[in-house]
Amino acid sequence: MDDWDDDDEDDLIEALSKKPPREPSFGSTQSFQRTQNDPKGTETQSAVAVSAEEAKDIEMKLLKAQGEASMLRDKLALFEAEKERERKTQTQKQKELELQHQHELDLIKADLQKAEDEKKFLAFSGRSSHRSPGRHAAANTPEASSGESVSAATKKRKLEEPPRRYITLKPNRIVSDEVDLFVNSAISHRLAGSRLSTLEILNNIYLGHVKDFKFKILDIAGDGPVGKGIFDMLMSHIRSPLKLDQFIEILLECLAMLIKEISQHEKECDTAVPFLVALMHHCITFRPSAIHTMALKDLFNFMVDLIRTHRSVLKRPLRKSDLELDVGPDIFQYEFIRILTVLYAFDVLEDGLKIVQSLPVSFQAAFMDDAFRGAVDDISRYSLTISYQPVINVIHNTVEMFNCIANMLLEAPELKEKVPVRWWDNIINRLYHILNKGTSNTARNELELSTLHLFDEINIFGLIRNIGDNHNGQLISLLVKENEPWHLPRVIMRDFPKEQGITNRATDVEWWAVNMKIGIVKLFEKLAIAYRDGPVERNMLKVLARLLAQTQEVLLTVLLGEDSENIHVYYEFFSQTLKLIYHMWKSGQWELRLLREAEAELTVCLWRVVFGTTHEGSRVEMAEHKTLADRFDELRLQQDAELYEDAFENEVPDFVAEETRAQSFSRLKEIMGIGAEETTRQMAKTMLEGITSMEDADALYMAMQAGSAELGP
pLDDT tens readout for residues 38-62: 444 445 555 555 578 888 888 888 8
Question: Are 215 and 133 in a shared domain?
Answer: no
Mean pLDDT of 241-267: 91
For residues 191 and 123, state if they share a domain.
no
Residue at 378 is within a domain: no
| Per-residue pLDDT at 28 exceeds 60 | no
Output 410 or 139, whichever has higher pLDDT.
410
As a whole number of angstroms, the distance between CA 419 and CA 531 comes to 11
What's the number of domains the chain is made of?
3
Output the CA torsion 494→499→504→505 (10° steps): 30
Helix (H) or strand (E) holding 220: strand 218-220
For residues 562-569, give the mean pLDDT: 76
Together in a domain, 239 and 132: no
Q: What is the mean pLDDT of residues 681-710?
A: 68
* pLDDT surpassing 50 at residue 680: yes
| Residue 109, H or E segment | helix 39-131
Q: Are 510 and 471 in contact (CB under 8 A)?
A: no
Is 50 exceeded by the pLDDT of residue 708?
Answer: no
Number of Cα atoms under 13 Å in the Cβ half of residue 398: 26
Residues 293 and 350 in one domain: yes
Band (567; pLDDT cuts 50, 70, 90): confident
Average the pLDDT over 444-465 and give the result: 83
Task: Encode burial over 308-335: b for 16+ CB neighbours within 10 A, e otherwise.
Answer: ebbbebbeeeeeeeeeeeeeeeeebbee
Position 538 in a domain: no
Give residue 625's domain range: 548-711
- The verdict on 655 and 572 lying in the same domain is yes
Residue 37 vs residue 228, higher pLDDT:
228
The mean pLDDT of 588-616, rounded to a whole number, is 71
Reported as a pLDDT band with limits 50, 70 and 90, residue 267 is: confident
Residue 540 lies in a domain: no
Tell me the pLDDT of the chain averaged across its residues: 79
Query: CB atoms < 10 A from the CB of 205, how many?
Result: 21
Which carries the bigger pLDDT value, residue 537 or residue 520?
520
What local confidence, expressed as pLDDT, does residue 85 receive? 87
Q: Per-residue confidence at 555, pLDDT binned at 50, 70, 90? A: confident
- Among the residue ranges 39-48, 563-572, 663-672, the one predicted with the least confidence is 39-48
CA dist., res. 537 & res. 429, Å (int): 9
Nearest to 445 by CA among 381, 509, 380: 509
The answer to whether position 479 is within a domain reads yes
pLDDT tens for each residue of 326-351? 666 788 999 999 999 999 999 999 99
Least confident segment among 37-41, 137-141, 694-698? 137-141
CA–CA dist 511, 517 (Å, integer): 10
Are 569 and 468 members of one domain?
no
Q: What is the pLDDT of residues 78-94, one digit of tens each?
A: 888 888 888 888 888 88
What local confidence, expressed as pLDDT, does residue 632 receive? Answer: 65
Highest mean pLDDT pick, 21-30, 536-545, 655-664, 694-703: 536-545
Residues 118 and 192 in one domain: no
Kindly tell me if the per-residue pLDDT of 271 is higher than 80.
yes
Whether 120 and 200 map to the same domain: the answer is no
Stretch among 364-373, 410-419, 493-502, 655-664 having the lowest mean pLDDT: 655-664
The CA distance from 468 to 461, in Å, is 7
Rounded average pLDDT over 668-682: 66
Dist CA 263 CA 213 (whole Å): 14
In this structure, are 474 and 619 located in the same domain?
A: no
Amino acid 57: pLDDT = 85
Q: What value does the mean pLDDT take over residues 434-445?
A: 81
Q: Are residues 599 and 639 in the same domain?
A: yes
The C-alpha torsion from 398 through 401 and 407 to 410, rounded to 10°, is -70
Instruction: Please indicate, yes or no, whether residues 632 and 705 belong to a single structural domain of this protein.
Output: yes
What is the rounded distance in angstroms from the CA atom of residue 667 to the CA atom of residue 218? 60
Res 696: pLDDT: 64
Q: Are residues 157 and 190 in the same domain?
A: no
pLDDT band, very low/low/confident/very high, at 30 (cuts 50, 70, 90): very low
For residue 24, being part of any structural domain is answered with no
Task: State what percent of residues in the chain have pLDDT above 70.
Answer: 73
Give the lowest-confidence range in 179-193, 197-211, 545-559. Answer: 545-559
